[in-house]
Amino acid sequence: MTTKILLALTLLAGAVQAQTVTGKAFGTYVNALGVTSQSPVATLPSSGGMATGQADAFGVAGAVDASWLNAVTTGAVDNKKSGAQSTSELEQVSAAGGAITADVVTAVATAYFGQFTGGSDGEGSGFTNLIVNGEAITTEVAPNTRVDLPGVGYAVLNEQIPTGDGLTSWGMTVNMIHVVLQDALLGLTTGEIIIGSASSSVAR
Amino acid sequence: MNHARHLSLALGAVAAVLIAAACHDAASPQGTITAGILPGHDKGGSQCADFRLTGGGRVDKPEPETGKSPPSSHDFATFGFQARPDAACPFGMAGSGNIEWNEHLGTQFGGGFAFHGTVTMFSTPNDGTETNPQCGRFGGFGRLNPHNGPTEEDVSFEVNHACDVDEPGVGKDHIYMRIGPTADGSIYFRHSLLSGGNIQWHRLTGNN
């Protein structure tokens, strides 16, 4: 009996605890040769709401070219249900000197919490007409697919990084193209390029 | 001003119904009006709302199909929105919020477009989805930015319904977006189950 009362009180406390959401999305981030450059970032207020970041075009010579960059994050917090969903999209994308191109790059990251359970996912993320090292990729790219980029380094495509403890917090970061630049002789990391990034999380 | 916009929005919806010739759930080609007798629009008026909606994600195939279009297809859109009534019931249907809608299908409004809308009306739906208590309807005006054409301001839009069916929302939550008519009379709409993201319905409590 006592156990049942304690369980009920615990669930009740969980239901009325303050929840928080985070959301972030951006089109491109480049860190190469000591120079950092980033397209407009959408950052969700901690209380929820909506934020956007847009640019008609964005380019860093030799690293990335893209147009129609759109980053959107939305979310809401209340005692019974909270959620955050972030999207990042770019068109006419060329990365790493043309080693990777795509008509459209779409990142979607979602995190949610109902009264007693939560979750996160990267459903909806994808590429349209992706070409890697001159080869067209005609199927869906599985999460965390690594491809070598000769003379450049390597890339992780559809990189999905879960966050949170799965009990009181849930989150997901999706980076659709994550290029790791490496020194050709020593293999040391010299920089990185991230294209199409979306992150969302909830905590109770 | 707001009253005028509400009237204009309502007249736009009526015009869409009257002009329409055939129901078509997919996105409409540029320069044509493919909206039909919009499903359920004869089922009575909307009601004031005591809830708010947020959502974002991706939509591909027309409802009731689910899933993403093939990787070679541009036939999808992404979106994000927040919308709420300006005051709880029974004080009318004025609303506030924003919506971003990005269409990639090249036959739409000049090679695809980005739409940035401001919400001025918020209510329960009147298209048949009002039987689900976690559906809402909102509309307003915004800037249409085609990929290959001039930007057009003050274009009306209406989310006939956005429905929070379950958590997570992929394959369950659904949204019906209509934009236009534009200056050349075109109307766009897309009606889909979510292929990514989520829609959430939140009852207004006075604190949110």
Which of chain B's residues have a Cβ under 8 Å away from the Cβ of A122?
Answer: 196
Span B120-160, pLDDT tens digits:
999 999 898 888 889 999 999 999 999 988 999 999 999 99
Residue B11 has pLDDT above 70, yes or no: no
Q: Distance between CA A164 and CA B8 in Å, rounded?
A: 47
The CA dihedral of B18, B23, B28, B32, to the nearest 10 degrees, is -40
Cβ contact (<8 Å) for A52 and B56?
no
Span B98-121, pLDDT tens digits:
999 999 998 888 789 999 999 999
Cβ contact (<8 Å) for A128 and B104?
yes
Q: What is the pLDDT of residue B9?
A: 37
A104-118, A141-155, B15-29, B143-157: least confidently modelled range: B15-29
Cβ contact (<8 Å) for A123 and B97?
no
ipTM of the complex: 0.90
Q: How close does chain A come to B21, measured CA to CA in Å?
A: 33
Tell me which residue of A112, A132, A129 sits closest to A121, measured CA to CA: A112
Higher pLDDT, A131 or B28: A131
Residue A171 has pLDDT above 50, yes or no: yes
Q: What is the pLDDT of residue B131?
A: 85
Span B162-198, pLDDT tens digits:
999 999 999 999 999 999 999 999 999 999 999 999 9
For A116, the closest chain B residue by CA position comes to B167
Show which residues on chain B lie within 8 Å of chain A, measured between beta carbons. Answer: 52, 54-58, 68, 71-74, 76, 78-82, 97-98, 100, 102, 104, 112, 114, 116, 147, 167-170, 194-198, 200, 202-203, 205, 208
Sequence letter at residue B113? F
Q: Domain segments of chain A: what residues?
A: 19-203
Chain B touched by A154 (CB under 8 Å) = no
By CB neighbour count within 10 A (0-12 exposed, 13-18 middle, 19+ buried), where does A192 fall? middle
Residue B3 has pLDDT above 70, yes or no: no
Q: How close does chain A come to B167, measured CA to CA in Å?
A: 7
Tell me which residue of B153, B8, B158, B150 sits closest to B81, measured CA to CA: B158
* Tokens 């319905």, located at residue: B201
Q: Distance between CA B176 and CA B35 in Å, rounded?
A: 12
A33-37, A96-100, A141-145, B106-110: least confidently modelled range: B106-110
Residue B31 has pLDDT above 90, yes or no: no
Q: What is the pLDDT of residue A7?
A: 43
Q: Which helix (H) or strand (E) holds A16?
A: helix A2-16
Which of A52, A68, A74 to mutate to probe the B interface, most B CBs <10 Å? Answer: A74
Q: Distance between CA B124 and CA B116 in Å, rounded?
A: 22
For A52, the closest chain B residue by CA position comes to B100
The pLDDT of B40-56, averaged and rounded, is 75
Q: Distance between CA B10 and CA B139 in Å, rounded?
A: 10
Sequence letter at residue A197? S
